[in-house]
Amino acid sequence: MQDLSELQDILDYNFSDISWLKLALTHRSYDRENNERLEFVGDSILDYVIAVNLYNRYPHLAEGNLSKIKAALVNQFTLVEIATKIGIGKYLLLGPGEERSGGRKRPSIIADALEAVFASVAFDSNMYQAIRVIELLYDEYMDNAEHLISKDYKSILQEYVQKRKIKLPTYEVRGTEGPDHNNVFIVECVISELGIKVPARGRSKKEASQVAAEKALSLINSKGFF
């Protein structure tokens, strides 16, 4: 395993018991004692810290906008960006198969490891230290978070697949429901290279497409495609 002193410097936190950090960096392919339980805790800590920070930083924003910003900040895409910046992949403990298949750069793995690191700080000391580490890593994101309100889900999904050189999603109308004067449109978001086909309903084709894009993003997150 790599020397962890550099990672501790980046986090601006020195562990009293380094085994907590090692556990946070241990993937299930490496050992039965791994970071999955820590990731579960870290996910909740992150949600709390981002929510409180947004509440304090943006007192003029309504709950709906705060929720949209928080969702963008705690999703896998942002976690991967931060985890990549701090080079968390090189510190991971992986099994041989995961190592050969590129696990050190697999987004779902490095995102989960980062959340596990947040929890490991809390268990090594206390919540205040975990909050401080999260705020350090997220500071620039939370300072410039208002632009996330104006981003629609179709644009976010398009940017995401473009960065990964995947064919753009298509939106196909699959039918309508209800009377002519009150139609509900059914639109399916298709990302063929990932085998994703997500139907959604809306009062207009545009609304249904946005809902379908949002569902596709959630599916990508939950399945760890990247």
Task: Phi first, then psi: give them for residue 95, nearest 5 degrees.
Answer: -70, 160
169 CB-contact burial (10 Å; exposed 0-12 / middle 13-18 / buried 19+): buried
- Of 39, 98, 112, 115, which one is the catalytic site residue? 115
Region label for 178, one of left (φ > 0), alpha (ψ between -120 and 50) or beta (otherwise): left
Of the listed 43, 98, 124, 188, which one is catalytic? 43
Q: CA angle 47-48-51, nearest 5°? A: 85
Is residue 43 annotated as a catalytic residue, yes or no? yes
115 labelled catalytic: yes
Q: Please answer whether residues 114 and 11 qualify as being in contact, where contact means their C-beta atoms are separated by less than 8 angstroms.
A: no
DSSP for 136-183, written as a single string: HHHHHHHHT-THHHH--HHHHHHHHHHHTT-PPPEEEEEEEES-GGG-
Q: Supply the residues annotated as catalytic.
A: 43, 115
